[in-house]
């Protein structure tokens, strides 16, 4: 296959992926008993894009994410991440790619008995068991601040944080291993509009400065308009369309029209148009 296969697995984790599509899903099928969640689902995620993933509740967005990160074994289909098969790999063979992504799960999933700093240290300890304690704390502190939390948050427990701070703590843990690929499952759900907009801005900044590829599941229309390069729509057990919002609006699928052209969709568009008019001209693109 690609040249990546010839690289020593230990060396592999130190390389950045240079291909066009860090995630390729083909013919994916997921079923739970008689329930078919995905059927012949295909999707390609471009390097360094922020891909919004939308779909009604229960359409299988989280299951898709879990399949890509190897937590859910599909009943059929093929998934490659960084040019490596996730579907056919044994768990230890996935190690070389697993430390190259970070995940913010729906609901945060922080360990409640650990402080924020200790939460961020979990993946570091797992992948770099020999790392010195001082360095470990220093990296954790840095990631916490990178996620926009005050330094004091390092020693706080999840129960001492607001909803928005918990999301940022989850983000700090997702960034622990300097990932190339970031998975965010509903990162702005439950945040007030200002908190949500701040989180969106942070996501965009991190993508730009760290060169991340972002797989972003969201119901938040403002997020889609503000920061997503393309949007993938899950319906009828598949990704029925991927494109910019303008491209999606040109399709006459009822769910897409209802979602983007319904009252909330139009309000989000109007708010984006207003924000553009308020911004001073910067010249150039
Ligand atoms: N481990 C599981 N066992 C059985 N059924 C599951 C499991 N995980 C998910 N499902 C089912 O798969 C379907 C898709 O679930 P999923 O969590 O991916 O939806 P979603 O699109 O993320 O929804 P939401 O927008 O509400 O988060 C649901 O019907 C859910 O009940
Ligand atoms: Mg979900």
**Residue tagged 């989850």 (tokens):** 170
Cβ–ligand 1 distance for 99 under 6 Å, the answer no
Backbone angles phi, psi at 154, to 5 degrees: -55, -40
Better pLDDT: 18 or 208: 208
Which residue's C-alpha comes closest to atom 26 of ligand 1? 57
Cβ–ligand 1 distance for 59 under 6 Å, the answer yes
- Our measurement of the distance from residue 284's CA atom to the centroid of its chain's CA atoms, rounded to an integer in Å, reads 30
Give domain status of residue 40, yes or no.
yes
- Read off the pLDDT of residues 129-158 as tens digits, 9 standing for 90 and up: 999 999 999 999 999 999 999 999 999 999
List, in order, residues 6 or more apart from 114 with CB less than 8 Å away. 122, 157
- In this structure, what DSSP letter does residue 251 have? S
Tokens read off for 13:
């984790």
Are 151 and 14 in a shared domain? no
Collapsing DSSP to helix, strand or coil, 24 comes out as strand
Pick from 31, 61, 107 the residue to mutate for probing ligand 1's pocket: most ligand atoms within 8 Å of its CB.
61
Q: Tell me what the pLDDT averaged over the chain comes to.
A: 89
Confidence class of residue 276 from pLDDT cuts 50, 70 and 90?
Answer: confident
- Read off the pLDDT of residues 229-257 as tens digits, 9 standing for 90 and up: 999 999 999 999 999 999 999 999 999 99
Q: What angle, 0 to 180 degrees and rounded to 10, lies between the N-to-C axes of helices 254-261 and 263-278?
A: 50
Are 50 and 185 in a shared domain? yes
The average pLDDT across 161-182 equals: 94
Better pLDDT: 284 or 119: 119
Q: Domain limits at 146?
A: 105-178
Q: Find the 21 Cα to ligand 2 centroid distance in Å.
A: 23
For the chain, how many structural domains are there in total? 2
- Read off the pLDDT of residues 181-214 as tens digits, 9 standing for 90 and up: 999 999 999 888 899 999 999 999 999 999 999 9
Domain's final residue, options 151, 178, 205:
178
Are 167 and 243 in a shared domain? no
Domain's final residue, options 145, 163, 178:
178
Q: Tell me whether strands 35-45 and 50-55 are parallel, antiparallel or unpaired.
A: unpaired
Is residue 208 within 8 Å of 229, Cβ to Cβ? no
């Amino acid at each position: 296959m690609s040249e990546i296969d010839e690289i020593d697995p230990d060396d592999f984790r130190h390389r950045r992926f240079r291909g066009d599509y860090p995630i390729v899903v083909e013919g994916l099928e997921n079923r739970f008993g008689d329930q078919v969640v995905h059927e012949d689902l295909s999707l390609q995620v471009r390097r360094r894009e922020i891909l919004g993933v939308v779909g009604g509740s229960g359409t299988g967005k989280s299951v898709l994410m879990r399949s890509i990160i190897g937590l859910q074994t599909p009943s059929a289909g093929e998934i490659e991440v960084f040019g490596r098969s996730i579907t056919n790999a044994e768990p230890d063979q996935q190690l070389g790619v697993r430390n190259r992504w970070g995940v913010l799960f729906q609901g945060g999933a922080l360990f409640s008995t650990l402080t924020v700093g200790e939460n961020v240290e979990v993946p570091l300890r797992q992948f770099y068991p020999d790392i010195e304690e001082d360095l470990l704390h220093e990296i954790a502190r840095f990631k916490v601040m990178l996620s926009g939390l005050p330094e004091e948050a390092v020693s706080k427990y999840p129960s001492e944080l607001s909803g928005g701070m918990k999301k940022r703590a989850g983000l700090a843990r997702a960034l622990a291993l300097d990932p190339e690929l970031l998975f965010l499952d509903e990162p702005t759900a439950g945040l007030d509009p200002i908190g949500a907009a701040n989180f969106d801005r942070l996501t965009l900044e991190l993508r730009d400065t760290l060169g991340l590829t972002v797989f972003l599941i969201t119901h938040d229309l403002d997020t889609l308009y503000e920061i997503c390069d393309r949007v993938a729509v899950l319906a009828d057990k598949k990704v029925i369309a991927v494109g910019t919002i303008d491209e999606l609006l040109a399709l006459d699928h009822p769910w897409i029209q209802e979602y983007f052209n319904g009252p909330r969709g139009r309000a989000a568009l109007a708010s984006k148009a207003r924000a553009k008019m308020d911004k001073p001209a910067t010249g150039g693109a």
